[in-house]
Amino acid sequence: MRAAARAQPMPPAGQRLQWLEALRKMLVEQRDALVRAIAADFGNRSADETLIAELMPSLHGIRHASRHLRRWMKPSRRAVGLLFQPASARVIYQPLGVVGVIVPWNYPLYLAIGPLTGALAAGNRVMLKLSEATPATSRLLQEQLARIFPADLVNVALGEAEVGAAFSRLPFDHLLFTGSTGVGRQVMRAAADHLTPLTLELGGKSPAIVSADVPLADAAERIAFGKCLNAGQTCVAPDYVLVPRARLEAFVEAYRQAVRRFYPRLEGNPDYTLIVNPRQAARLRDCLADAEARGARILPLLADAGACGLPPTLLLEVDDGMRVMQEEIFGPLLPLVPYDRLDDAFAYINRRPRPLALYYFGYDRAEQRRVLAETHSGGVCLNDTLLHVAQDDLPFGGIGASGMGHYHGREGFLTFSKAKGVYIKQRFNAARLIYPPYGTALQKWVYRLFLR
């Protein structure tokens, strides 16, 4: 792949557009097979959730990149100071070379195709390490990508955790990892040996704030959608909700009603996604048991969904000693934390590691501005959840413990490109005025003019 990158260091726009079109056609042709493979890996993954949350944003991202690629590739003109005239300056956007992408299990299609789209649009060769926890999807993607791309353009690695560890130690020109904060630290250590630049998308505990006057039915329905999609196995799912103390019980009822509208039943319901495997289901049940043992009030909203399922569940009277308040939940469990003043909610969030997403529910414009100014997070939705990720013209990325770097849209193109500054001078050389020997009258005039 390095040899191929050296042989074609700057693929033209037409070639990149062909790559993106081949990727788009493959996704359209393999739509049903991909839905079936993901469902098989999860035991049950709602077909509509796969279409809405994986196929649709993947296709939209390809379309957006294809539509804007020629403009993104165009060198940008930059100013040259008077002292350095006559000259010109520009920035050219050059492919990095070979990009590595480590893909998690929770969205095994979208979190492979999104980075692949940005890296190909930027003209790179790409290696993907697909998740061992979604074997059917990983094998299908490996087969289909090998069918449409030569091995020195797109290459797929499969295997267990040791393969992922070896993959992260390769001397990539850029490495993008999506997954847990703990594994992200390991990836960063491995990449340090080669000084490999990183984009880390790590998740964390994304809060939602319910204001003192927002209609609770509005807030509860939108939070319930964000929490129940993919059974909460989403890096930007609401991880806990800050609710005004006086509105807590009313919010519980509004949330319960929203969940029951979405899922009148769980048993045999094709709309409700299962937890991906018994190990993850056991982890979530352990978190519930820990919270209950420490005094939390557990409110299951529906009957249990089976061995690898878990019903949407609210947790009240939680505290910082509980695992559900220390770890990213990654499931349909939702702690509620009461607050008295909006300042208290901000302080609660700001005392903790910076989250990947923050959600505020309230229609007061002044309070919305305060949320944006007084909290830090990778991204924000005002009066919604999750859907900022699907906006192709917005950057997506974390901050602090929730990650570093951005991709999606133009930011993805820039992440996978070297923005190379170029200074251009032709025959006439005014810089001779500042060459030695120093101390000439002309140099003293230059100092008087420019050192002020």
Instruction: Considering only the C-alpha atoms of the chain, give the largest distance between any 2 of them, rounded to a whole number of Å.
Output: 90
Q: How many CB atoms lie within 10 A of CB 339?
A: 19
| Per-residue pLDDT, 442 | 85
Which listed residue (201, 221, 328, 411) is catalytic?
201
Residue 228 bears catalytic tag: no
Dihedral, 43, 49, 55, 59 alpha carbons, nearest 10:
-170
Interval 95-123: pLDDT, tens: 999 999 999 999 999 999 999 999 999 99
Average pLDDT over residues 57-81: 97
Give the chain's mean pLDDT.
Answer: 96
Q: Which pLDDT score is estimated for 447?
A: 86
For position 304, what pLDDT does the model report? 78
Question: How far is residue 122's CA from residue 29's CA, in Å, rounded to a whole number?
Answer: 25
Residue entry with tokens 């390991």: 186
Residue 307 has pLDDT above 80, yes or no: no
Q: How far does the chain reach from its first CA to its final CA, in angstroms? A: 51
Segment among 78-87, 345-354, 417-426 with least mean pLDDT: 78-87
- Mean pLDDT value of segment 317-337: 97
The strand pair at 417-424 and 297-300 is best described as: unpaired
The closest alpha carbon to 135, from 50, 46, 37, belongs to 37
The answer on pLDDT for 267 being more than 90 is: no
Owner of token pair 């009313």: 250
Nearest-angstrom CA–CA distance, 449 and 31: 66
Q: Looking at residue 305, what is its pLDDT?
A: 72
Q: What is the pLDDT of residue 321?
A: 96
The alpha carbon dihedral of 192, 156, 43, 57 has a sign of: positive
* Tens of pLDDT, residues 402-411: 999 999 999 9
Is pLDDT above 90 for 444? no
Domains of the chain (ranges, CATH numbers): 2-202+400-420 (3.40.605.10), 206-390 (3.40.309.10)
Catalytic residue among 235, 287, 308, 381: 235
pLDDT of residue 213: 96
Nearest of 363, 394, 283, 369 to residue 328 by alpha carbon: 283
The confidence band for 448, taking pLDDT boundaries of 50, 70 and 90, is confident
Quote the CA–CA distance of 87 and 83 in Å, as a whole number: 10
CA 47 to chain centroid: 22
pLDDT at 144: 98
**Residue 308, pLDDT above cutoff 80:** no
How many Cα atoms sit within 13 Å of 450 on the Cβ side?
Answer: 11
Element (DSSP H or E) covering residue 209: strand 206-210
Stretch 427-445: mean pLDDT: 86
Average pLDDT of 4-24?
A: 97
Identify the pLDDT of residue 128. Answer: 98
Other C-beta atoms closer than 10 Å to the C-beta of 307 total: 11
For the segment 372-386, the average pLDDT, to the nearest whole number, is: 97
Q: What is the pLDDT of residue 446?
A: 84
Q: Which helix or strand (DSSP H or E) is residue 358 part of?
A: strand 357-361
